[in-house]
Structure 1
Amino acid sequence: MFDNAPCGYVTLLANGRIARVNRTLIGWTGHTSDQMIGKPFSGFLNMAGRIYYETHIAPLLRMQGFFDGFAIDMVTASGEHLQMIASATDGRDAGGKTLFTRIALIKAVDRRLYERGLLEARDTAAMGLARERENSELREQFIAVLGHDLRNPLASISAGARILGRDATTEKQHQILAMLETTVMRMAGLIDNVLDFARGRLGGGIILDRNANAPVEQMLHQVIDELRLSSPGRQIEVEYAIDAPVNCDRIRIGQLVSNLVGNALSHGATNEPVRVRAVTEDGLFKLSVANGGEPIPEAAMEKLFEPFFRGEVRASRQGLGLGLHIASQIAKAHEGSLTVTSTAEETRFTFVMPLR
């Protein structure tokens, strides 16, 4: 069993010299039994293995009596290196003195190649990940720059529409100018969402300019009036009970309300009003937007605040799918939360944040 074992066996004397070696190891190395017996085991290792064995393995064997799973390279009779995985155990007398050491060795060529392949694959994956991150950052920077540059021509269109509005005389002219202003407002919202999303992905996050002094109602009125203008024929009901200062970024809260109400107008029942309610109570600012219509499917609820998620919408209502995501990020920036409930009676988004 010793000679024909599927692994190499070596027995060393207390002085580290080989006392016995099995046929399996002799066959692997090409050395004869006479060439190995009586010689130091470390003499059959390559230089790195010899240093490692004598400075690390042998001292630990003396200290703890065993050493499992160490890698060494043996030198064959032809001078080639044979990669091995070895485990060693000391045999000791009653007083703890080492009498001999048994070493079991198995070939590790395939395993070492596999490990080397794993390391190379890891390095390749790390390089690929670094390149992908760089490309992703460049893409997001491009989106941010593009979104920023789009503001200039959009501002020119808006200014031109206002100038033309001074000379408009017919009902058709006023309708066309109102359509232009609505389109400009919608495009500005889309650009804001793109910029906020790109900034968030680049690590900047949502930037706030909080102010507890300015009234919130004025901002809410302005946003709701703009949305009424862009959705003629739709009813938006509002209810305010704000009797305490709200320390928030009014522009960002206006953006949140615009996204939520715009979403309700797009997906809610056209024959039912969109209901907006804002109150201060129990040290919190609470704002909800509710609409009637079909409930949101359960599968869609899980992804509702993810970027670019739009669910199943009609072609005329498609957008970038960033509105609810940006709204949720604005809520988080205010140390608040944005939640949703959806039933057959109504779908309601609720934003809650501390007053201070």
Structure 2
Amino acid sequence: MEDLEDLYENAPCGYLSLAADGVIVKANRTLAGWLGTQSVELLGKRFYELLNVPGKIFYETHFAPLLRMQGYFNEVALDLMGPDGRRLPVLANAAERRTSDGGVQFTRITLFQAADRRRYERELVDAKNAADRARKELEELNRTLEERVATGIAERLQLEKGLHAEKEVARLREQFVAILGHDLRNPLASIAGGLNILSRETQSDKAKRVLTMMSQSTERMSSLIRDMLDLARCRAGQGIAIDPKPTKLRAILEQVVQELQAAHPGRDIQSSLQIANEVRCDGGRVAQLVSNLLGNALTHGAPDRPIKIVAVPGVNEIVITVANEGEPISEHVKDRLFEPFFRATSSAEKQGLGLGLFISGEIARSHGGTIDVKSDRKETRFAFTMPASDQGASLTM
């Protein structure tokens, strides 16, 4: 037969009985053991004395009023405090026994340990908080992603607008090239032809001087237009157009030397042209390159010292060097020599647009070659090297 006393004392839950005034009149050993005390030590105490401070406040504001109002409550979370300060999380169920006239006879309270449940609830709260943080982070990520997408679209539209503007600029550049190539060069050719006709007729000394000056100006204008056309092609990404074919390069270089010697009768231009065989290249463009290098040497070299041009064949290459004596080129100037419109001096005596060396560098590149510069107090030397084979000389068509 079941021992009811043992069942009460050693039940898997805690039991308390309170008198009408709330004083504990009975407590089982299970509850006393949880609190680390004896059942007799609990007798005579009030229930709220077993609670921690928040529990006492809750007891006065919720627990007792709810119990008086409806006579019971279920699963109220409380924290009991043992004599040694140990905290015991519990779930409390309470019920009053009342008289026929409604007076309270006693109150029975059943207590269940809730440490695991509290831990689980905290974990749920932590998980919910983590989920809330993750949701907020996701919302923030989505917001920033939308902003980045909007920014990217705006940048893409701006880029497309810029590309459209660049295409328009390119179209205008092509029109500009066409104007230079046709609307200016054709009338200039007519002027040059007219001057040539007039020069054959008998003229006074003054008229001859004027015709010579006009012919030189016409030639200079033609050179400037040619340089601007070349620059426009390079800016458009087309590079310098060349037409490589077998060429008697020595004869072409001799002609360039003779023309510049005639234009500068007081200067000493010494040449050593050792190219006997034909070379596959664009003779006109190479002549333009060498003329620019010689003109640069005549402009910046010491006027009382010779200009030297040497052309020699190498191993599958041709090397043409132009050297002059005079002040060396400074390093900061040397780094910019082949930039368009750059001039090493701002003197008004130096003519041209500052495109000569830039165009020379582009001509060299079109031939698959290079131009190297060395300058010290002894001399300044420009060396043009290009491949002598058919493959190297026809890289740019």
Q: TM-score range by the shorter chain?
A: 0.5 to 0.7
Query: Structure 1 residue 232: deviation in Å?
Result: 4.3
C-alpha change, 1:270 and 1:151, in structure 2 (3 Å) is: same
TM-aligned CA distance change 1:161 to 1:302, over 3 Å = same
Percent identity of the aligned residues? 37
- Equivalent residues in 2 for 1:123-272, closer than 5 Å: 123-149=156-182, 150-212=184-246, 214-272=247-305
Match of 1:325 in 2: 358
Structure 1: where are the runs of 5+ without partners? 1-17, 29-68, 75-83, 87-105
Closer, same or farther: CA 19–292 of 1 in aligned 2, 3 Å: closer
Instruction: Give the aligned partner of residue 22 of structure 1.
Output: 129
Distance 2:137 2:337 in 1: 53
Mark the structure with the bigger radius of gyration. 2
Q: CA deviation at 1:137?
A: 0.8
Counterpart code for 2:376? T
Residue 22 to residue 268, structure 1, CA distance change in 2 (3 Å): same
Q: Is the 8 A contact 1:182 1:230 kept in 2?
A: no
Alignment partner of 1:288 out of 304, 313, 321: 321
Q: CA 1:156–1:337 in structure 2 vs 1: closer, same or farther (change >3 Å)?
A: same
Unpaired runs of at least 5, structure 2: 1-124, 390-397
TM-score by length of 1: 0.66
| Length-normalised TM-score, structure 2 | 0.60
Match of 2:144 in 1: 111
Separation in 2, partners of 1:273, 1:174? 31
The 1:146–1:215 alpha-carbon spacing in structure 2 relative to 1, beyond 3 Å, is same
Cα 1:228–1:188 change in 2 (3 A) is farther
Residue type of the alignment partner of 2:240 = I
Q: Residues 306-352 of structure 1, C-alpha deviation per residue, up to 9 Å, x if partnerless?
A: 22222333123142222111111111111111111111222111101
Q: Give me the CA root mean square deviation.
A: 2.9
1:39-76 Cα offsets, whole Å, 9 max, x none, are xxxxxxxxxxxxxxxxxxxxxxxxxxxxxx9xxxx7xx
The 3-state SS of whatever aligns with 1:321 is coil
Shift of 1:235: 3.1
What are the Cα deviations for residues 229-275 of structure 1, in whole angstroms up to 9, with x where unaligned?
43343332222111232111101111111211122222222232322
Structure 1 residue 188: Cα displacement: 2.0
Equivalent position SS for 1:21: helix
Q: Is the 8 A contact 1:308 1:322 kept in 2?
A: yes
Structure 1 residues 258 and 187, CA gap change in structure 2 (3 angstroms): farther
- The answer to whether the 8 Å contact 2:322/2:383 transfers is yes
Alpha-carbon distance, 1:298 to partner = 0.7
